[in-house]
C-alpha cells in the first residue's frame, strides 16, 4: 500500500559516460515484491487519464508536477486541497516559472497542458490497468461472446446504420492514453517491422536487425490481415484507404476479406505508415479494429536463418509464420518492436516489468535497444522527446542505468512511504552488487548452495568431516567467494 509518498522522476544530472540522447529520459522504479512499483505506474496512468477528462479514473487525492518539452514553466496540478485530504470537484493548477507562480482553479485541464500521448504496457495483470472501463463485448472484441448472440442480435450489430466503434481516424482526436495489450503482440510486431523497414540504414544496422539475429530470423517477408467487414460497414472505405489498396493480393469470401502483402521483393511499408502517420498511429488503428472484432487475424511471414553448418548445403529457408516461434521468442521480438514505435513522438511511456520471460542475455539488451531506437529517430527528427518509466526486478538491466535514474521503493511494515536513490554507482556495476544493495538479497548466490556450503564449513570446524573431505568439496564448487571460504577453512586447519 502506498501512503503519503512523494516520488521524483528528475532529469538526469549525468553528462559524462553513459549520457543518453536528448530525445528521451529513462528512469527505473525498483524494489522488492509488494513495494508498489506497478501501483505507481498505474496511478500515473490513471492521473493523466483523469486530467484528460475521464472521471472514472484516479478517485484518490494526488498532486503531480511536470514540465513539457515545449514549455518553460512547470505545472503542478492537484485534485485536492493543500492538506491532500479532501477531494475537490475541480483542479487546482500552479504554473511555476522564472517570474514566480500563478494559481488557478479549473473544471478541466486544457489538452495543451498535457503530454500528447501516454503509453502503457504490462506483463502482469491487464485487468487492473483496465479498471473502470465499460464492459462491452464488441468494444473488447470477444469472439466467444459474439458467437453466443442470437441471429437477431447479431444482425442488429451489423446494420449499416449502426455507429462504428472505431476510434476516430483524425490523429488530433486520438485518446491520450494507449494501453498496449499482450494479445496484440502480433499487431505490435507488425507495426515494429514496418517502422524498422522505413528507418535509414547507412553504416549502422537498423535497431531490429540485432533482435532478429537473436531469434535466428533473417528477414521479414510480408504479412496478411483478415477482416470481417459486415460488422463495420462504415469503416470499409477507411480500411481500404489505409490498408487495402496497398495489398499485393485481396481475397473476398462473403463478409471475410483477406489482404496479403508480399515483401519478398520491394515493399510499400513507407506508404502504409505515411497514410496513418507513423507506426504508433497504425497500431492504434489496428488495435481498435481488433477490439471491435473487425480485424480477426494477423499473420507475419518471416524467413529463418539458414543453417550455419559447413557440412550442409546452403539453402534458402522456407517461410515461417511468426506464431511458430516459441512464446519466449515472440514476446522478446514483440516487446522490442513496441520500443520501436516510441521514436519520433512526445510521450510518457510506462513499462511494467518488460523483462519477464526474458533470459538473462536478452535482459542485457533492453536499455541498449531502447537507446538504439531513440538515437535512430534522432537522425531524422530531433524535435521530439519522451520519458520512459520502467518497473523492473532485473539486476542486469540496472547495470545500464546511473544511480540518479533509479528510484528505490522502501516499505515499512505493510506501507511504502519512501522512495530513495541508490547510495552507490550502478552504471557498469556487477549485478551481484545490485542484488544485495538494491533488492536486499543476503547473498547473490542461490540460497540452497549457500546453506549447503555453510553447513559443510561448520561440519569441518566441528571435526565431523576430515580435511580431505573438504578438499574434495572444492571439485564441486565454482570459483569465487564460496570456494575461497572453503580454502580459507583448509588453511585454518593446517
Q: What is the mean pLDDT of residues 215-243?
A: 86
Q: What is the pLDDT of residue 186?
A: 97
Q: What is the pLDDT of residue 151?
A: 59
Is the sign of the CA dihedral 282, 287, 288, 289 positive or negative?
Answer: positive
* Residue 306 contacts residue 316 (beta carbons within 8 Å): yes
How far is Cα 479 from Cα 310, in angstroms, rounded to an integer?
36
User: 309 falls in which pLDDT band (50, 70, 90)?
Assistant: low
How far is Cα 343 from Cα 195, in angstroms, rounded to an integer?
10
Percent of the chain with pLDDT over 90: 53
Does 17 or 492 have the greater pLDDT score?
Answer: 492
Range of weakest confidence among 189-203, 286-300, 301-315: 301-315
Q: What is the pLDDT of residue 22?
A: 66
User: 136 falls in which pLDDT band (50, 70, 90)?
Assistant: very low
What tens digit of pLDDT does each residue of 117-135 get?
999 999 998 988 886 554 4
SS (H, E, C) the chain: CECCCCCCCCCCCCCCCCCCCCCEEEEEEECCCCCCHHHHHHHHHHHHHHHCCCCCCCCCCCEEEECCCCCCCEEEEEEECCCCCCEEEEEEEEEEECCEEEEEEECCCCHHHCCCCEEEEECCCHHHHCCCCCCCCCCCCCHHHHHCCCHHHHHHHCCCCCCCCCCCCCHHHCCCEEECCHHHHHHHHHHHHHHHHHCCCCCCCCHHHHHHHHCCEEEEEEEEEEEEHHHCHHHHHHHHHHCHHHCCEEEEECCEEEEEEECCCCCCHHHHHHHHCCHHHHHHHHHHHHHCCCEEEEEEEEEECCCCCCCCCCCCCCEEEHHHCCHHHHHHHHHHHHHHCCCCCCEEEEEECCCCCCCHHHHCCHHHHHHHHHHHHHHHCCCCCEEEEEECCCHHHHCCCCHHHEEEEEEECCEEEEEECCCCCCCCCCHHHHHHHCCCCCCCCCHHHHHHHHHHHHHHHCCCCCHHHHHHHHHHCCCCHHHHHHHHHHHHHC
- Set of cell numbers at residue 355: 523483462
User: 396 falls in which pLDDT band (50, 70, 90)?
Assistant: very high
Range of weakest confidence among 147-151, 282-286, 420-424: 147-151
Reported pTM:
0.83
What tens digit of pLDDT does each residue of 256-276 get?
999 999 998 888 899 999 999
Does 70 or 273 have the greater pLDDT score?
Answer: 273
Q: What is the pLDDT of residue 162?
A: 43
The single residue listed with the C-alpha cell 565454482 is 478
Percent of the chain with pLDDT over 70: 81
What tens digit of pLDDT does each residue of 430-456 get?
999 999 999 988 989 999 999 999 999
Radius of gyration of the chain (CA): 27
Q: What is the pLDDT of residue 34?
A: 85
Q: What is the pLDDT of residue 87?
A: 87
Best-predicted range by mean pLDDT (31-45, 64-78, 134-148, 320-334): 320-334
**Cα–Cα–Cα angle for 323, 329, 332, rounded to 5 degrees:** 115
What is the rounded average pLDDT for all residues in the chain? Answer: 84
Range of weakest confidence among 83-87, 88-92, 295-299, 477-481: 83-87
* Residue 30 contacts residue 408 (beta carbons within 8 Å): yes
Q: What is the pLDDT of residue 138?
A: 39
Q: What is the pLDDT of residue 67?
A: 87
- Set of cell numbers at residue 417: 512511504
* Residue 184 contacts residue 289 (beta carbons within 8 Å): no
Say whether pLDDT at 161 is over 50: no
What tens digit of pLDDT does each residue of 174-195 get?
789 999 999 999 999 999 999 9
Which residues in 309-326 are b (16+ Cβ under 10 Å) and which e? eeeeeeeeeeeeebeebe
Q: What is the pLDDT of residue 205?
A: 72
Amino acid at each position: 500500500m502506498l501512503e503519503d509518498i512523494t516520488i521524483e522522476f528528475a532529469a538526469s544530472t549525468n553528462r559524462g559516460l553513459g549520457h543518453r540522447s536528448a530525445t528521451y529520459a529513462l528512469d527505473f522504479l525498483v524494489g522488492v515484491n509488494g513495494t508498489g512499483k506497478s501501483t505507481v505506474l498505474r496511478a500515473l496512468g490513471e492521473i493523466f487519464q483523469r486530467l484528460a477528462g475521464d472521471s472514472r479514473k484516479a478517485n484518490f487525492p494526488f498532486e503531480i508536477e511536470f514540465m513539457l518539452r515545449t514549455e518553460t514553466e512547470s505545472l503542478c496540478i492537484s485534485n485536492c486541497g493543500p492538506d491532500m485530504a479532501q477531494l475537490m470537484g475541480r483542479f487546482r493548477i500552479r504554473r511555476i516559472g522564472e517570474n514566480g507562480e500563478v494559481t488557478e482553479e479549473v473544471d478541466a485541464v486544457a489538452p495543451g497542458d498535457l503530454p500528447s500521448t501516454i503509453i502503457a504496457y504490462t506483463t502482469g495483470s491487464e485487468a487492473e490497468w483496465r479498471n473502470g472501463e465499460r464492459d462491452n463485448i464488441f468494444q473488447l472484441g470477444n469472439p466467444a461472446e459474439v458467437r453466443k448472440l442470437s441471429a437477431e442480435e447479431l444482425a442488429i450489430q451489423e446494420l449499416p446504420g449502426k455507429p462504428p466503434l472505431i476510434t476516430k481516424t483524425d490523429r488530433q482526436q486520438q485518446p491520450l492514453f494507449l494501453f498496449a495489450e499482450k494479445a496484440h503482440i502480433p499487431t505490435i510486431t507488425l507495426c515494429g517491422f514496418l517502422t524498422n523497414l522505413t528507418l535509414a540504414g547507412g553504416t549502422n544496422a537498423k535497431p531490429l536487425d540485432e533482435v532478429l539475429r537473436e531469434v535466428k530470423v533473417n528477414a521479414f517477408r510480408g504479412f496478411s490481415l483478415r477482416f470481417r467487414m459486415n460488422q463495420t460497414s462504415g469503416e470499409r472505405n477507411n480500411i481500404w484507404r489505409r490498408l487495402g489498396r496497398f495489398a499485393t493480393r485481396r481475397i473476398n469470401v462473403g463478409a471475410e476479406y483477406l489482404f496479403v502483402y508480399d515483401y519478398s521483393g520491394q515493399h510499400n511499408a513507407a506508404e502504409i505508415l505515411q497514410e496513418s502517420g507513423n507506426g504508433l498511429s497504425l497500431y492504434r488503428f489496428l488495435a481498435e479494429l481488433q477490439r471491435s472484432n473487425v480485424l480477426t487475424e494477423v499473420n507475419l511471414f518471416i524467413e529463418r536463418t539458414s543453417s550455419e553448418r559447413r557440412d550442409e548445403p546452403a539453402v534458402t529457408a522456407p517461410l515461417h509464420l511468426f506464431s511458430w516461434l516459441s512464446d519466449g521468442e515472440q514476446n522478446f521480438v514483440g516487446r522490442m518492436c513496441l520500443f520501436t514505435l516510441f521514436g519520433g513522438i512526445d510521450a510518457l511511456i510506462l513499462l511494467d516489468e518488460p523483462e519477464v520471460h526474458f533470459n538473462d542475455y536478452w535482459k542485457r539488451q533492453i536499455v541498449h535497444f531502447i537507446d538504439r531506437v531513440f538515437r535512430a529517430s534522432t537522425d531524422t527528427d530531433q524535435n521530439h522527446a519522451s520519458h520512459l518509466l520502467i518497473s523492473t526486478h532485473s539486476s542486469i538491466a540496472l547495470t545500464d542505468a546511473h544511480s540518479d535514474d533509479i528510484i528505490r521503493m522502501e516499505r515499512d511494515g505493510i506501507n511504502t512511504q519512501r522512495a530513495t536513490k541508490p547510495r552507490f554507482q550502478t552504471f557498469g556495476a556487477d549485478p551481484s552488487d545490485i542484488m544485495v544493495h538494491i533488492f536486499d538479497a543476503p547473498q547473490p548466490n542461490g540460497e540452497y548452495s549457500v546453506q549447503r556450503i555453510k553447513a559443510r564449513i561448520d561440519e569441518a570446524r566441528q571435526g565431523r568431516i576430515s580435511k580431505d573431505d573438504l578438499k574434495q568439496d572444492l571439485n564441486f564448487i565454482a570459483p569465487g567467494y564460496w570456494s575461497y571460504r572453503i580454502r580459507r577453512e583448509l588453511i585454518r586447519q593446517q
